[in-house]
Amino acid sequence: MFEFEVPEVDYTRYSNRQLVAVPLAVLVLSLAVVGGWWVVTGAPVDRGIDFTGGTELTIGSNSTLTNDEIAGTFEEPVVSIQGITTTSDSTYENQYVVTFDNSTDVSAVRSAVQSADGMTLLGSGTTSPLFGAQNQRLAVMGVGVAFVGMSLLAFAFFRTFVPSIAIVISAFSDIMIPLAIMNLLGIQLSLGIVAAFLMLIGYSVDSDILLNNHVLRRSGGFYESTYRAMRTGVTMTLTSIAAMAVMAISATFFGIGLMADIGLILVLGLTADLMNTYMLNVTLLRWYKYEGVNR
């Protein structure tokens, strides 16, 4: 039977500089993407209707509709139309999600679908610009407080600068990398994704704490401790990645956007976390253990 054993990485073969170079390069690249996006579009990431305001309708139909047919139903300008895969047990053969901008009145577009032939209104969601702006303010506040709180806890646990800041940098990078990839893939920020980022802060810190704990608070040599921490930590992260990947795929298949988004962001973030923990964090700890302590 297939078996996996976390491989023992021979860290002695690489210098600190070599090890740190990769995660730092990826972080800088991500920051460049996010920063560039910010300069060009005015926001670090494309915001969905949860934040900009707007209306989204879910429409069911038993005939295949073209985008023009759907857009023609409405007097209001349509921002996007997205077909959703339906499974054999669904009531309608086709489902579409139609998005409108924040100047659209939800009652008007709802009644347009209700009076249209061959279309059934399955659902609608609307956010006014007022609520959108408020969601944005609150979400930034929430992620900010969560991040600062997490950082303070990290410092409280280890009480030394380098190991604690390693956790903070690693968590920061774990968030920035998926954010940059979101921009490249054209995924819009939703409230669900904000939840995913907060989950990511929690998950990302787990493996970092484990590593720091093994290296700093246990007896044994640095490389032995690191390997023990890796064996546990990599298993943990791989388990989570597997669960989230399955969730992302199956939720995409079922058309449950929120869960698909959360799954995708966590797969990206946890993969970034593997790199950050076992290249960036390990190196900072090694530097601290062999050189930093003696200063």
Partner 1 sequence: MSALRENWRIVALVVLLVASATALFVPGVPPGTSADGGTDAGGPEAESASQLTNLNYGIQLSGGTRLRAPIVGITAEGVDVQATEATQLEQTVADELGVDTIDVRVRPISNDRQTGAVEVVIENVTQQELRAALEANGYQPDTVRDGVTRETRQEMVETIDEKLRTSALSGASVQIVNVPGGEHFVSITAPDRDREDLVDILNERGVVKIYAVYPGGENGSYVREEVLQRSQMDDISSANREGIGWAVYITVRQDAADAFAQRMVDAGFDDGASCGNYNHSDIQQTTGDGCLVHTLNGEVVTARGVTPDLGGSFANGEFANDPVYVMQTNGSEQANEIELNLEAGQLPAPLDLSEDSGASLDPALAERFKQNSLLTGLIAVLMVSLVVYVRYQRVEVVVPMVATALSEVFILLGFVAFVQYPLNLSHLAGFIAVIGTGVDDLIIIADEILQQGKVETGRVFQSRFRKAFWVIGAAAATTIMAMSPLMVLPLGDLSGFAIITIVGVLIGVLVTRPAYGDILRNLVLDED
Closest distance between partner 1 and the C-beta of residue 62, in Å? 14
Query: What is residue 92's three-state secondary structure?
Result: coil
Nearer CB in complex with partner 1: 19/169? 169
Nearer CB in complex with partner 1: 69/224? 224
Closest distance between partner 1 and the C-beta of residue 273, in Å? 12
Does an H or E element contain 134, and which? helix 129-158
Nearer CB in complex with partner 1: 127/283? 127
Nearer CB in complex with partner 1: 33/196? 196
Closest distance between partner 1 and the C-beta of residue 10, in Å? 21
Type of residue found at 47: R
- Tell me the residue ranges of DSSP E strands in the chain: 54-61, 78-84, 94-100, 120-127
Q: How far is CA 210 from CA 19, 157, 250, 281, 290, in A?
A: 20, 12, 31, 11, 20
Residue among 129, 128, 110, 130 at smallest CA distance from 120: 110
Nearer CB in complex with partner 1: 67/90? 90
**In 10 A of CB 286, how many CB atoms?**
20
Closest distance between partner 1 and the C-beta of residue 122, in Å? 4
Closest distance between partner 1 and the C-beta of residue 63, in Å? 18
User: For residue 212, what are the contacts with CB-CB under 8 A and spacing of at least 6?
Assistant: 157, 158, 163, 166, 167, 281, 285
Closest distance between partner 1 and the C-beta of residue 132, in Å? 8
Nearer CB in complex with partner 1: 44/132? 132
Dmax (CA) for the chain in angstroms is: 78
